Structures are given as structure tokens and as C-alpha cells.
Structure 1
Amino acid sequence: MSGPSDRPPSAAARRPHHWLIAPDESAARALVADALAEPGVPPVLAVLDAHRRLRGPFTAAGALMRQLVPGVLAADPEPAVRHDIEILAAAPELRTVLPCRRETLTSLTAPQKRTRYYPYIRTTRIAHGLIDFLTAVLDAPATLVVRHAEHADRTDADWLALLLRRADPQRLRIVICTAGRDVPQPLADALAAHTTPREAPATPLGPLPDDPAARWELAAGWVAADRSTDDPAAAACYAELEPAERARLHEARAEELAAAALAGEASLLRGPLAHHRALGTDPAGAGALALQDALQECLLEGFYDALAELGPLTHAVLDWTTRPEECWLVTARMTIAYSVMGGRADEALALYDDACASTALPAVHMSAAYGRAMVYTRYLEPERRDHRKAKGWVNTAVALSRLADTDARRAYNRTFNENGLALIEMHLGDPARALELVEAGIERMDGALDAEDQGQHRSVLEYNRAQLLARLVGPEAGAAAYDRVIDQDPHHSEYYFERAVLLRKLGRDEEALADYEHAIRTSPPYPEAVYNRADLRLELGDLDAALADLDRVLELDPEFLDAYVNRAGLRHALGDARGAAEDIAAGLAREAGQPHLLALRGLLAQDDDRPEEARADLEAALAGDPDLPAAWAALGVLAYERGEAEESVRCLGRSLRLEDDPVVRANRALAHESCGDWAAAAADYAAAIDLLLPEVAAAQDEADSAEVVTELSRLRGRRAECTARSAG
């Protein structure tokens, strides 16, 4: 009789998501059909095209939202309402049926008054929110097919990478199709980790049609498909066309897209329309205008990879001699993108140099000076930052701000630039001067501009003042200042997150918990707020909720080392040795010498009666961080068990100097007994009793209370005996 196989599961069983590699459309269709025909493959939810020429950022994710959201709103709108920011970022067309209820001053401020832009990480947060929405509304197992993933914008590449990691293949099977193995990050790593690849040979390319009209039809069809198909015959026919004929085809397609955008297809404005206009019959006119509109859309939404791709195309159809203001606007948007993207700050500096060499406009030189200052104080790698050089550049910007043609504009420009100077002063170690600059700016703007003209920047100044007051005056003053900032911008998640930190310092834990929950509700998902809530819940003794929060943190960011540390410790405390060991291994894989994890691994070895392994791990942990009370306490127990009572007293004493604990007191009392030091033992027992007494009142139920009472009785008995021996 045969039994279950002991052989490990096959790669296909371990990685049920699929990566289908087919170099042309015909081969891709055949490969997809074969994959979907396999036994056990769930029904197809959607077949998406991720080629960024179709819709720009979130091409694939937006198509899925447009397909799913109307039905969800009709059946149960709550999941869509809960993820309105994420859905509308991917599919702005849905704003007519799904109004956003979590608008911030950033999202509501007019483009010309925007002074704050989203961080680069925001699109990853949006991607997580879209996955949460999809998980919530998926009511049966399904398969999602995504074509042309190698041509995805970074937003879709990130979304697909996270989907491959997070999706339970028993609920949602992912089939990714590419023409080759050259795939952008982070999708490439996710495909390697979570899919079973299958490759098909190219379909032989036959001769092109002899009929010129047929060849023209192929080329025209390729343009009408936004050049998004892997059709080498169509691409070859397109390349054969005269430049003027190609331009006419692009112009005709641009007109179709413009009409669709006017009818509500807003995502077409993020790049697709602009690409056709730029290749059309009026690249310097209609093309430049469409490209600049696309740049603005991408900047306002934080789609910086798309912006960085569109920027050079826009510069190519403009020139500094005749259109310097437009050229600068393109440069300004590109430098914002390069600065926040990470690793591209030098490209921003080069653009500033080029702009200043190309025009003498004072506004350009002022803004470029400010931009250089921010690169040097904030955006370069930490070891390359130069705050003194940054101060020199921002002082140049302050000086040039005096050249504005009205008092109101001079006041605004000076305040904006001195706010940058305040950041630099803080980096140079003078927060008092920074606060002085910020408060002077608020007073200046109040005197020269009305509330509407101050725009979003007034809120930015109030926020900076709150940060500085918290640092200089204390958490109470800081929290009160955050109250004012939140009144102005009640859906800005980070304000609640930062105020919660101050409230915890003030001992206002319930208010801090409410702030963390508000921070989580008002934003697309990000792990830091959930992690801080977990830490507070641990402190408040809500262990199950803390564990759920730590699970969520690692779902959002599996590289979050502190979450492994805390979850490992919590699992150990809850008796889940296996789960703790898994977290320790995962954490040490990310930082081999992490002291808390080494200490915890030592405790597990101690629990498992492996004293030598325990001792090695505990000593390694203390070499990395000598202030770990649990590690010293465990070493003390190991020394006692080896019969080294004096070493046990020493180690337990180190632990108690770091953190007083009744169990460690009782253990040191035993070690003192072994040394014959009865008075010291009696003193430790007395201290342990004092520490345990409050636990009787705090016990959650009768069983807990009885356990503590029993331990108190035992300790009193030992104290009495040691006291007697000491007196005798």
C-alpha cells in the first residue's frame, strides 16, 4: 500500500504563480491558453495589459479598478470608500462615482500653489492599498493575467511585485507575461522568488505583405494600439513610413485620445496623449503643451518615474532662447523627481547648472539656488551632504527673493526660502535659530498676504514650528502645536503619527493609540504607524492585538527588522517557540549580529536544554549590546546551573542594574544562598516581594492572582529562613 510521498514538492507546487515568457503576440496567446487550461486553475478575473504607453502610471492596476469598482459600489461600497485614495490614484476616471473622503491640503491645493510633494514611497503605499482592496472584494478563487509586464511603469511593476508576494495563490493565481527575461525591478526579483517560469520560442516572422496598403494598415494598427503590442511585422511597417505619414497617424490617434480624455478618461493625460502629440504634426506646439500637462499630472500624484521619462521629451521640443519660462518649469519638475527618487540627486544638480547657464531670469536663479541647497542638505547620500554649502546656496535664494515685483511676492519668496534656511540651521545644530526663522516667516506672511494667497505653505510653516517646539520646548508644547496643524489639515496621516509619539512621552497612552489608529485610517498603508501602534499595545498589555499589528507590518515590509525582533520576543513570551525561532532566523538573515535576536536565540536554546549554544549566543549578544538585561539574567541562570554561584551573582546583578525584575531578584537570592551570603539573599527576596505586590492588584483573573499569591508565599518563606540564618 502506498502512502504520502516524502519527496519535497516540485517547483511548480512551491510557486504556483506563473511567469510566461513569449517573444511575440502569437506565442504569448498560445502560452497563456496552455497555462489557463491546466487542472485546478481558477477562472480568469481579468486579462490586463501593463504596457505604460496605454495609460502611463498604474496602467494595469487602473484597468482592474475600472473593471471592479462599479460593481463593488453597487453591492457594498465600504471597501472602495476605505481605499478611495488608492483607487483614484490608479483610476482617476472613477472620481465621478467614488468621491475621495480623505483629501489633504496637498491633494486639494491648486498646482501653482503647491509647495509640498509626495514622497517617492507613496506609490508603494498605494499599491498595498490596491492589494488590500482586491483581497477584500475577491469572493471566489480567480486568476489574473497581466500582459507586457516588462513595459510596465514603475508603479505597476511595484504593484505586481507586491501582488506576487502577498497574494495567496489558492485565492488569486497570478500569470505574468513578458516578451523576455529583461524585466524592471522590483518585479524581476519577485518573478524569480514567487513564480514558475515557462518559455516559448518565437513564432517565425514571415515576409511582410507585398501590398503597400496592407503594410500601411499594419503600421496604422500599431499606432492605434499605442505601439503596445509585440508585433515585429507591424513595427517594421511603421519604420518604413515617411516621417510625415507617421506624424499624421500619431496626430489622428492623439485626437481620439483627446476626445476620450475630455469625456472623462483622465488617466490618458498622464502620458499616452502626450506621446502621440509629441510624435504628431505639431510637436513644439500641441506636443509641448500635452507633455507639460502630463508632467504636471505626474508631479502632483508623485509618479516620478513617469515624470523622469517625460521630462527629456519635453525639453526636446522646447528651447531656452524663446521659451525660457516653460523650459524652467520642465526643469523644476524634473529636479523635484530626481531629488526625491533616491540616487539621482546629481542629475538634479546638473539640471540646475544647465538652467542657470541657459537664462538670466532672476526667478530661475533664485529657485535653482534653493533647489541646490535642498540637494546638499537633504537629498544627497548622508556622507556627501554639505550643510555649509547648502546654507550658501539658500542665502543666495534669500537675496534674490528681494527682486520680486510686489511686496506680497517678496514676502512669500523670502519666507519660502528662509523656511529652507531653517531646515539647514537645524541640520547645523541650531534649532533655536530655525524656530526664529519659521516664526518670523509666519508673522511676515500674515502681514503681507491674505489666507488664500498664503496657500499650502502656511500649513507647512505651522508643521515645521510644531516639530521645532517639540524639540526645543518639550512634548506638551509640541503636541499643542500639532493640534493646530491637524485642525488645518485633518486628513494628513503623518501629523497624527508624530503627535502620537509626543502623547506617549506625556503618558497619554489612550490618546496616542487613537492617533495611531487615525494615522492608519487616513492614509494608504505604511508600516511605521502600524509598528508604533504594536509597540504601544505591547506596553498596554494587549498582546493579541500587538501580534496582529506586527504580522501586518511584515506583510507590508518583510525587511522591517525591528518587527522581527518584537514579534520574536512576543511569540516567545506567548509560548510559540517555533514562531519565535522563525522570526529570529528571518531577522538574522537581514542583520547577522542583531543583539536582541541573538539573545532571544540564546533563551530558546536555554529553554531547550542546550546550555553551550545558549551561552555562546548570549555572550555574542552582549558583545554587540552590553545593556540587555534579559541576556545578563539568562547568563546568570546558566552560571548557577554550572555551579558558578559568584559568576551568577555578577551576571544577575548586571541585569538588575539595567532593569529591576522580581524573577531576577529571586534568582540572585538563590545564588546568594549558594555563596552563603544570607543577608544579601534576604534583601533580594524582600525586594522581589515588593515588586510582586502590585501584580496581585493588576492580575487579570483569579488564576493569575492565585499564582502570584503562591509565589509571594514562597518568597516570604525563603526570606524568613535567610533572615534567620543571617541572624544566627
Structure 2
Amino acid sequence: MREATAHLWITGPNRAAREAAAAALPFPDPVSVDCHRGLRGPYTGAGELMRLLVPRTHGQSPLPGGTRLSILAAAPELSALLGAPEPTLTSAAPPGERTRWYGHERTRRIANGLVDHLAAHPGPPLTLVFHDVHEADATDAEFLAIALRRLDPARVRIAVCSDDDTPGSSLAPATAAELRRRAEHRETPAVPDTYRGEFVGTDGTGEPDDLYRQLDPAARAKLHDSRADELEASPVWSWRLGAVPYHRAHGSSPDAGHAACESAVAYCLGMGYYTAALELTARIDDLLGPDAPWPARYRQLRQRGLCLALLDRPAEAEAAYYDVLARTTDPKVHTTVSYALSVLFTRLYDSPRKDHVRALAHINTAIAFIDQLPDAEDRAFHTAFMHNGKALVTMHLGDLPEALRLVDTALAAVEDGLAPGRHHLHKSVLHHNRAQLLARLGRGEEALEEYERIVTQDPNHPEYRFDRAVLHHQQERFEAALADYAEVERISPPFAELHYNRGDLYSAAGGGDAAAEFARALELEPTRADARIALAELWLDDERAAEAAELAREGLVLSPDDPSLLCVQGTALLALGTAEAALHSLDRALAVDPSTPGAHANRASAHLALGHHEEALRDLTTALALSPEDPDLLHNRGYVHESAGQWARALDDYTRALELPGADREALEERRSECRERVSAEG
């Protein structure tokens, strides 16, 4: 069989056509899954894929920790085979005490962990067929975009089946972009739909048949009740995130429909599946109707605002929060929502909407309402929570000592006002914030004491160990940093920043393969310019200029005007002896950002290679104005003066360079001696 060189994209106007085209693929034993989010919500397709593949190879080789956690996130039913994920204070917090939410980037980490598993799959090549991708949840769409980019079709060939490739298609933009870049497109004409069972059995993913339409509402509701009962008895728990809420919402009990949707929202919020949670809040809105009791309506509105904020859609979140405030005078609601508005303005908005003073006004409003709360323990918790929020704003305003004082106030409130067994999660959050502030204030030993406390209390939460590793690195405790990074890798799905940081540590301390770490960071997130630049610079040091130039070129496809990438490209092209091309890249870099000394220095080298002495001197003089204590710049300018026969000026630059720390004394003394002889001969 001829080796596959591309993935496949099968489009057609109906599912029957796409299924027929997929069935005709000339590949043995394809694994087919349905991605319609109405079935099992988040990771409908990826979760089913893991349920099919993981049992086949279980026990052949140990799963890396991050891969295992990714699989369990997508297919929680596999905990019976793989063991449950290790608990954290976040995952174990009671519903009323959850005060920390995963960042929206968590699903990218899960997706990369799933792709790692597929890339390492043993045995013959795989063919994976994904149906109804245009109806996929955001988690499946993200997973497929990453899988298409990372997986070699010779080993794991992906066939994506979707409605069409027109601009109006509901296919996720990132998925569509990867398909256009990496897949062979096959369009298939419509074929008659075959009968696939009665409508309720399709779990809302098909079209209502005549029998369903002719039933009276009560009979329809009973069919939905029966199907929901059947799915809830299934060992595939994740039906409760898609089909079960759908059927309960169309069943005979509105309360059961509301409860099923609420349960799914709570799970999705807790796991970081915010797009699915947002869709479910819209279904709850329909179920509640215009006359809903306030507690249920408030819960739905608050969840909607939280989803929008966590999806980095602050303007929509702001509108949702003001909608809540306009409906009630409840002081607890105003406290909570004013805090949320403060976070929007101090953290989530980009410039120019970011406004720390407005954030301070909102958090002060939240604090002002606390005394109106009737319950003492409630007041203690909100005092801690809101003062912690004010510390964030104060930190952004630049007053670190005051931010630390506010966190200490928050800690005192929880220690004095809450029962010992309550709010362990929020206490750990406060100590984490205290550790971060102490580190910023240069009080490293105290910060490490805080990290030791929270890592002991919450050993499976990767963020604490990651931040402690960064602090160890800053203090040149390299072995301790490496130990923390290794543990983060074990207890977290993979993410690029870990590998970039470890590569940076290896570059500083030696003892590891920095290039491999930077390459891994780029494998996970190719848009990370810092990892691309670091890897290119290592390759330049190893005289691999052609590879460095190609690496920069690939980065510039993603970020065409990145001045650092342009500078690296220019340096690599110069090393390859193409000074004109190097000059072009460096001109572009400095047009975007003229404040980088290295770019001026490299352009000076390009000018010198082309015999442009005056231009080279001008660039080096500019570089020295930007970085006057750099002996290498003086050394280089002295060399250009020498090349132009300006011996006295060269002698002056070499002499000044020798006065600076880090100078190459042997080379400078040799050049200075030569210049002195030249000056004497001319005199």
C-alpha cells in the first residue's frame, strides 16, 4: 500500500454521502467515531476514540502521567481501567467552595496529551474517521486541529467528515485552517439518507421522522424519558453531558430537565469545558422561562457571565454582570458581581479597555457591601475573597507592599472567621498569592516557605510546583528547579511553557538537552516565538545556520512582523553568506522595532560584509547608545574602524571595551597592539 502523505477531508451535503465515502476508503480496520456534541458533549469524538483504543494497548507500556490525565479528562469512564486521577484541592472542593477555575488553555493541554498518546500508538498505522465534525464541541474541534498538525499521516491518518468547506460552514476556524493546510479534500455528492432508526434514538442529532411528528406531546415526552433512563443506566457516564440533558429537557418533568442541565453545567465548569457550559446555560434559560424564581435565574445568569469571562470574552461578560446587578438589590449578589467586574477590568480586558482604577472602584463596592451580609462566616469568607481581589488590583497598580498587606488581611479573615475544615482551596489560593508577592518583593526564602506549605497541602496541583521551579531557577537552585519541573510533567497534561523553561534552565546550567526542550515546546505550541528564537540561536551556535534560517522562516509565516524572528533570520542568512538577504530581514526587523541593540549589531555585520563601512559604523553607534556597557559592541565597532583604516578610533574603542566586565581581553589586547603599531607608523 502506498504510504499516506496527507490527511483526508470528506465533505458532502448529508451524512449518508459522507459515510459512504468514508466506508469506501481503501484502508484496513478504520476506527470511526461520531463527534456530534449532542451525544456526549465535550470530547464526544476524542473520548469515544480513547474508549476504543486505550483498552487495546493497556498494559503494553506505562502511560506517562500527563497522557493518562488527558485520557481521563476526555473519557472519565476509563478510570476503571487506568485509575482515577489524583485529587487536588480544586477537584475535591465542595460546590459552594470552588473559588478557582481552570484557564481556557487547559483544553489545549488535554488535546496535546491525547495526540501524544496517538503518536506513540504501537502496531500498524491507524486510520481514524471523525463524523459530523461541523457539529463538534469546541474541545473536539481543538483536539482535531492539533492532531491534524502534529500527527504524521503515514502513521496516523485522519479522515474528517463535515458538511462543507464554505465560509458559512459551522466548522471551527482552526480546524478548517489545518484541514486546508494538511488534508486532501474530497467532495462527495448527496445520496439518499437510509433509515437509521426512530428520531429519539438519534438523541436529537437527526431530523424528526413522521412517527415522532404525529405523536402527541405527552407521548413524545415519555419517549424522551425512556431514552434518558436508558442512557443514565449506561456505563458511558458522559452521556450525561449531551444526550441526557437533551432528553430530560424534552421529557415530562421540567424539574428533571433543569436538574440534568444544572449537573452538566457544574461538571463542565469544573473541568474547564466552558463553551459546552455556556450552551447549557442557554438551554437552562429556555427551561426556566420568563417567570423563573430568582435563585434559579441568578444561578443561570452568574454561570453565563463566568463562562464568558473564562472564555476570554470580557465585553459579553460585562453585559451579563450588569444584567444581574439591574435585577436585584441583594447585597451578596452585588458583592460577588462587583468583584467579577473588577477582575474584568484589571485582568481580562486588553488595552485600551483595561482600567485598574475602574477595577479598584468595583472591588471597593464589593467590600462596602460585606457588612450587610447577615451570616458571620459568610462575612469572613467574603472579606477574605474581596481583599484578595483588591490585592490583585493593587499589584497591577504597582504597590506590591500594599498588595501583600491585603493578602495578609484576607488570610487573617479566613483563619479567624472560618471553621477549620472550611475553604481549604481558597486558603491555598491566598498562600499562593502571598508566595508570588513575596517573590516579587525579593523575599525569596519567605516565598519558598509559602510554596512548601501549599505543595504539602495540595501536592497534585501543578501550578504551585511550576511557580516554585521558576523561583528556584531565579535563585540558581537548578537541581531543585529540575525536580519540580519533572513532577509538574508527571501531574499535568503537557504544556509548552514547562519545556521552554526547562530548556532555558539547561541553557543556563547545562546538564540537559536544551534544544530538545525548545523543540518540544514548539511541537506543542508552534506560535511560541521565544522557544523558536532560543532553538534557532542554539543551532546558530552549532553552525546549523540553514536549519536556523528555516526555523525562523516557519515562524514568520505565523507572525510575519515579529522583529526578533526577523533578526534571527537575518543572522542565520548572514552566516550562510547571503548578506543581501540578511540585510533585507534586518531592515524589516528594525523598521518594526528600532530599539534592539542586537538587530543593529547584526545589520552592521551585514553592511560590513557588503563593504558599507559608514552604514556599519552608524548601526554600531546606535547599538552602543542603546547598550553602552556592552564590550562586544565596542569590540565590533573597533573592528569596523580598523577595516576602514581608522586606527586611532579603533584603538579608542578597544581601550574602552577593556574597561568593561565580560570583555574578551586576549582578543582586544591583540587588536589594540596592532592598532598602536599602525598609529605609530602613521605618526
What whole-Å deviation, never above 9, does each CA across 1:116-158 have from its counterpart, x for those lacking one? 0111111111011111122223322110111111111111111
The 1:720/1:105 distance shift into structure 2, 3 A limit, reads: same
Cα drift, residue 574 of structure 1: 1.7
**Counterpart AA for 1:164:** L
Q: Which residue of 2 aligns with 1:106?
A: 90
SS in 2 for 1:244: helix
Cα distance in structure 1, aligned partners of 2:563 and 2:98: 45
RCO (CA 8 Å, sep 6+): is it higher in 1 or 2? 2
Cα drift, residue 89 of structure 1: 1.0
Does 2:5 match 1:20?
A: no
What whole-Å deviation, never above 9, does each CA across 1:398-420 have from its counterpart, x for those lacking one? 23322333322211122112222
Cα drift, residue 613 of structure 1: 4.0
**Counterpart AA for 1:115:** T
Does 2:175 match 1:175?
A: no
Q: Which residue of 2 aligns with 1:4?
A: none
Cα drift, residue 239 of structure 1: 3.8
What whole-Å deviation, never above 9, does each CA across 1:607-630 have from its counterpart, x for those lacking one? 344444444444554454555454
Cα distance in structure 2, aligned partners of 1:254 and 1:122: 30
Does 2:299 match 1:329?
A: yes
Q: Which residue of 2 aligns with 1:227?
A: 204
TM-score (normalizing by structure 2):
0.89
Does 2:246 match 1:246?
A: no
The 1:664/1:14 distance shift into structure 2, 3 A limit, reads: farther
**Gapped runs of 5+ residues in structure 1?**
1-11, 207-217, 694-711
Q: 2:350 aligns with which of 371, 381, 398?
A: 381
Q: 1:459 aligns with which of 423, 428, 440?
A: 428
SS in 2 for 1:198: strand
SS in 1 for 2:421: helix
Contact 2:128-2:159 within 8 A present in 1 as well: yes
Q: Which residue of 2 aligns with 1:201?
A: 189
The 1:240/1:626 distance shift into structure 2, 3 A limit, reads: same
Q: Which residue of 2 aligns with 1:545?
A: 513
What whole-Å deviation, never above 9, does each CA across 1:80-122 have from its counterpart, x for those lacking one? 6542321111111122232245432212222221110111111
The 1:647/1:445 distance shift into structure 2, 3 A limit, reads: same
Cα distance in structure 1, aligned partners of 2:107 and 2:299: 23
SS in 2 for 1:453: coil
Cα distance in structure 1, aligned partners of 2:243 and 2:370: 38
SS in 2 for 1:383: coil
The 1:643/1:136 distance shift into structure 2, 3 A limit, reads: closer
Of residues 659-668 and 103-112 in structure 1, the stretch that sits farther from structure 2 once superposed is 659-668
Cα distance in structure 1, aligned partners of 2:215 and 2:389: 52
**Counterpart AA for 1:62:** G
The 1:87/1:603 distance shift into structure 2, 3 A limit, reads: closer
Cα distance in structure 1, aligned partners of 2:159 and 2:612: 62
Cα distance in structure 1, aligned partners of 2:585 and 2:65: 49
TM-score (normalizing by structure 1):
0.84
Cα distance in structure 2, aligned partners of 1:688 and 1:462: 43
Does 2:144 match 1:144?
A: no
Cα drift, residue 390 of structure 1: 2.8
SS in 1 for 2:198: helix
Q: Which residue of 2 aligns with 1:366?
A: 335
Contact 1:685-1:719 within 8 A present in 2 as well: no
Cα drift, residue 606 of structure 1: 3.1
Q: Which residue of 2 aligns with 1:349?
A: 318
Cα drift, residue 352 of structure 1: 2.9
Cα distance in structure 1, aligned partners of 2:571 and 2:424: 56
Does 2:283 match 1:313?
A: yes
The 1:235/1:369 distance shift into structure 2, 3 A limit, reads: farther
Q: Which residue of 2 aligns with 1:32?
A: 22
Contact 1:22-1:31 within 8 A present in 2 as well: no
Q: Which residue of 1 aligns with 2:259?
A: 289
**Counterpart AA for 2:216:** E
Q: Which residue of 2 aligns with 1:70?
A: 55
Q: 1:91 aligns with which of 75, 86, 89?
A: 75
Q: Which residue of 2 aligns with 1:564?
A: 532
Q: Which residue of 2 aligns with 1:130?
A: 114
What whole-Å deviation, never above 9, does each CA across 1:612-669 have from its counterpart, x for those lacking one? 4444444554454555454444455556566677876675576675565679738835
Does 2:230 match 1:256?
A: yes
**Counterpart AA for 2:200:** V
Q: 1:47 aligns with which of 10, 28, 32?
A: 32
Cα drift, residue 360 of structure 1: 4.5
Q: 2:487 aligns with which of 506, 512, 518?
A: 518
Q: Which residue of 2 aligns with 1:393?
A: 362
Contact 1:69-1:80 within 8 A present in 2 as well: no
SS in 2 for 1:175: strand
Cα distance in structure 2, aligned partners of 1:471 and 1:665: 36
The 1:167/1:658 distance shift into structure 2, 3 A limit, reads: farther
Contact 2:10-2:22 within 8 A present in 1 as well: yes
**Counterpart AA for 1:510:** E
Cα drift, residue 423 of structure 1: 1.6
Cα drift, residue 280 of structure 1: 0.5
Cα drift, residue 439 of structure 1: 0.3
Q: Which residue of 1 aligns with 2:310?
A: 340
Of residues 151-160 and 64-73 in structure 1, the stretch that sits farther from structure 2 once superposed is 64-73
Q: Which residue of 2 aligns with 1:705?
A: none
The 1:153/1:622 distance shift into structure 2, 3 A limit, reads: closer
Q: Which residue of 1 aligns with 2:237?
A: 266
Q: Which residue of 1 aligns with 2:566?
A: 598
Contact 2:7-2:159 within 8 A present in 1 as well: yes
Cα distance in structure 1, aligned partners of 2:114 and 2:186: 28
Cα distance in structure 2, aligned partners of 1:189 and 1:330: 34
Contact 2:66-2:492 within 8 A present in 1 as well: no
State the identity as a percent.
36
Contact 2:50-2:71 within 8 A present in 1 as well: yes
Q: Which residue of 1 aligns with 2:396?
A: 427
Cα drift, residue 452 of structure 1: 1.5
The 1:418/1:266 distance shift into structure 2, 3 A limit, reads: same
Contact 1:373-1:390 within 8 A present in 2 as well: yes
Contact 1:653-1:668 within 8 A present in 2 as well: no
Cα distance in structure 1, aligned partners of 2:94 and 2:154: 45
Q: 1:403 aligns with which of 362, 372, 385?
A: 372
Does 2:160 match 1:192?
A: no
CA RMSD across the alignment? 3.3
**Counterpart AA for 1:188:** A
Higher Cα Rg, which structure: 1
Q: Which residue of 2 aligns with 1:699?
A: none
Q: Which residue of 2 aligns with 1:702?
A: none
Pairing 1:637-716 to 2, within 5 Å after superposition: 637=605, 660=630, 665=635, 668=638, 671-672=641-642, 674-677=645-648, 680=652, 683=655, 691=663
SS in 2 for 1:451: coil
Contact 1:685-1:716 within 8 A present in 2 as well: no
What whole-Å deviation, never above 9, does each CA across 1:475-510 have from its counterpart, x for those lacking one? 444344333332222222222332333333323333
**Counterpart AA for 1:566:** A
Q: Which residue of 1 aligns with 2:551?
A: 583
Cα distance in structure 2, aligned partners of 1:329 and 1:23: 40
Of residues 650-659 and 517-526 in structure 1, the stretch that sits farther from structure 2 once superposed is 650-659
Cα drift, residue 537 of structure 1: 2.0
Q: Which residue of 1 aligns with 2:42?
A: 57
**Gapped runs of 5+ residues in structure 2?**
none
The 1:325/1:368 distance shift into structure 2, 3 A limit, reads: same
Cα drift, residue 252 of structure 1: 1.0
**Counterpart AA for 2:218:** A
What whole-Å deviation, never above 9, does each CA across 1:540-563 have from its counterpart, x for those lacking one? 356x82221222122111222222
SS in 2 for 1:382: coil
The 1:82/1:726 distance shift into structure 2, 3 A limit, reads: same
SS in 2 for 1:507: coil
Cα distance in structure 2, aligned partners of 1:236 and 1:383: 55
